[in-house]
Amino acid sequence: MSARRQLSFDDLGTPLAEATLVVVDLETTGTDPAADAITEIGAVKVRGGEVLGEFRTFVDPERPIPAYIASLTGITDAAVAEAPSIRTVLPMFLDFAGDAALVAHNARFDIGFLSAQAAACEITWPRPRVLDTLALARTVFRRDEVRDHRLSTLARHVGAGITPDHRALSDARATVDVLHAIIERLGPSGASTLEDLGTAHRRASPVQLRKKHLAEDVPPVPGVYQFLDAQGAVLYVGTSRNVRSRVRTYFTAAETRRKVLDMLPRAESVRVIECATATEASIRELRIIGREKPPSNRHGLHPEKAHWLRLGPGTQGLRTARLAKPEQDGSAQIGPLSSRHDAEPLRGLLTDAVMGRGAALDSPGRALPGGGHRERIRRAMTEDPTEVLDHVAGRLRSHVGAGRYEEAEKLRRLALAFLTAARRASRLRALAEVPLLIAARPSTEAVIGGRGWELLAVRHGRFSGTTLVAAGKDPLPFARSLAMTGLGEAELAAPLCQGYHQEAEILLGWLEAEGVRTVLVEGTWQVPARARFDAEHLAQRFAATADAAEA
């Protein structure tokens, strides 16, 4: 048996000279990501010591900036009055960052705000690799060398070309100089890769070192990777734009997840499925997880299990359902719900809003205007939630006026859960009803000849196929070829994408991105409007209660 080759540092990760890093800094209205907002984003993209680009913008926090914050940063309400909202800025920043690792000084603060805002705006957070210059500086610069590890202190100590001044771009530029000084210090100790830099204060575990040979033959392609045991059973499934680079991180100190470290002793091989695009890889990953039920995966294990709030046909009322059903009989459903425990509170919210507090759905002799209470509830679930939101806004105003803030917050969260469930259902409903949709968007993948198009085929909300088309070529012939593939997906279609809603939501995110164009469609496709079931709609109705009181 031949001896296995000892991997070098370069084999185990991305060389620092080739790594793209985006150094980011934020200014905010406070320190709580859940309650405060971003007022400015500044970022510098670097590779191999060279600045590739910069990003800077004010952000409208949609709330007053506290006086002490304005004094500290110089950012006033007037300065951000005409600025775009975070819903506009965050996708721009993520596009600027791309696949780069993010770097920040006290990264928990900056990345915490960015990820929290992404969640609030329902923007997928890409979970990039994160480097914290504060943590690294504490390892590199001892207290006998610097009095503290504040950015201003470190910038002065390393001779940074710019002085931090509590403005996002200036502080990001200063952080770049601090980062380069840290890399220079760590170089002699063998920190030559991005993974080394991120774990300069830790070491790989013995099992990681023992199993690192499993990454030797993994190709540098986009796709899905599977860790297999000695019998070929799937232990863990993941996806990456560069499978080789991603798999190698599992054998470095950068990997600290308990589920992975517990899986590695049983792993005997890594299988790779190359994919044309990251979207295809994400779908294949979900399908493999749903089929194989790998013990080390959690998300996506049971896509068939979901909970819906269903308004039955005829005289049937609202109830929890495990399966979404066709709605041609006048029924309606919202979901999937985050938990089955959400169903009863949502049922109470809808019946209270339409029939009055404490009323029971379909009470004998109860006659309401506007088409009857069933039709009004169905309309609130599927078309226009205004009646429910007006009910919630009135109760919120009452709670706030009486100082019952905990009750107000509980009601607000319930209303948001309703809006989320109704919005999810409206999007899934729209996509599930389209027999075939082929769309194109500017490609983020490598295409022969440079920039090009990524084509995606969807049948009733199920992934049917994808391909890349070089710029300058007519995409229509490629779309027609896609239309001949994946015919079997239509046989697996279900109402509201029941059983594969996670897959459908990935496809919806793709279809709702900037620059998407419809190439071929059977039936009717229209991206569902979000505004009806958005948190802003609730805020507007709540504001209207104040206007009514003043009148």
Judged by average pLDDT, the poorest of 110-124, 302-316, 323-337, 458-472 is: 302-316
Same domain, 92 and 69: yes
| pLDDT at site 547 | 63
DSSP state of 342: G
| pLDDT at site 513 | 85
Q: How high is the mean pLDDT of the chain?
A: 88
| pLDDT at site 6 | 32
| pLDDT at site 125 | 93
| pLDDT at site 85 | 95
Q: What mean pLDDT is predicted for residues 422-426?
A: 95
| pLDDT at site 12 | 43
| pLDDT at site 256 | 81
- Give Cα 254 distance to the centre of its chain: 22
Structure tokens at 20: 């793209």
| pLDDT at site 360 | 54
Q: What percent of the chain has pLDDT over 70?
A: 90
pLDDT tens digits, residue range 225-276?
999 999 999 999 999 888 988 898 898 877 888 899 999 999 999 999 999 8
CATH of the domain at 225: 3.40.1440.10
**Confidence band for 369, pLDDT divided at 50, 70 and 90:** very low
- Phi, then psi, of 314 in degrees rounded to 5: 60, -125
| pLDDT at site 370 | 42
**Confidence band for 530, pLDDT divided at 50, 70 and 90:** low
Same domain, 194 and 214: no
Same domain, 285 and 319: no
Q: Is residue 456 part of a domain?
A: yes
Same domain, 244 and 359: no
Structure tokens at 63: 């709330």
CATH of the domain at 84: 3.30.420.10
Same domain, 398 and 451: no
| pLDDT at site 334 | 96
- Phi, then psi, of 387 in degrees rounded to 5: -60, -40
Q: Is 157 a catalytic residue?
A: no
Does the structure show a pLDDT above 60 at 449?
Answer: no
Strands 223-228 and 234-240: antiparallel
Q: Which has the higher per-residue pLDDT, 96 or 139?
A: 96
Q: What mean pLDDT is predicted for residues 157-174?
A: 94
| pLDDT at site 2 | 33
* Distance, CA of 255 to CA of 250 (rounded, Å): 5
Q: Is residue 545 part of a domain?
A: no
Q: Give the bridge partners for 105, in sequence order.
A: none
**Confidence band for 10, pLDDT divided at 50, 70 and 90:** very low
Q: Is residue 536 part of a domain?
A: no
* Distance, CA of 122 to CA of 126 (rounded, Å): 12
Does the structure show a pLDDT above 60 at 111?
Answer: yes
Q: What mean pLDDT is predicted for residues 417-426?
A: 95
Tell me how far apart the terminal alpha carbons of the chain are, to the nearest angstrom: 88
Same domain, 331 and 242: no
Q: What mean pLDDT is predicted for residues 186-192?
A: 72
**Confidence band for 194, pLDDT divided at 50, 70 and 90:** confident
Same domain, 58 and 158: yes
Q: Is residue 538 part of a domain?
A: no
Same domain, 77 and 126: yes
Same domain, 271 and 166: no
Domain finish residue from 178, 198, 218: 198
The number of distinct structural domains making up the chain is 4
Among candidate residues 105, 157, 166, 341, the one labeled active-site is 166
| pLDDT at site 450 | 61
Residues 6+ apart with CB under 8 A from 135: 107, 201
Same domain, 410 and 364: yes
Domain finish residue from 248, 264, 292: 292
**For the chain, how many residues are written?**
551
The answer to whether the CB of 218 falls within 8 A of the CB of 270 is yes
Q: Is residue 550 part of a domain?
A: no
Same domain, 69 and 161: yes
Same domain, 177 and 46: yes
Domain finish residue from 174, 198, 222: 198
Q: What is the domain extent for residue 374?
A: 308-428
Q: Is residue 335 part of a domain?
A: yes
Q: Is residue 394 part of a domain?
A: yes
Q: What percent of the chain has pLDDT over 90?
A: 65
pLDDT tens digits, residue range 61-76?
999 999 989 988 999 9
- Torsion angle of alpha carbons 261, 262, 266, 268, nearest 10°? -20
Does the structure show a pLDDT above 90 at 37?
Answer: yes
Q: Is residue 136 part of a domain?
A: yes
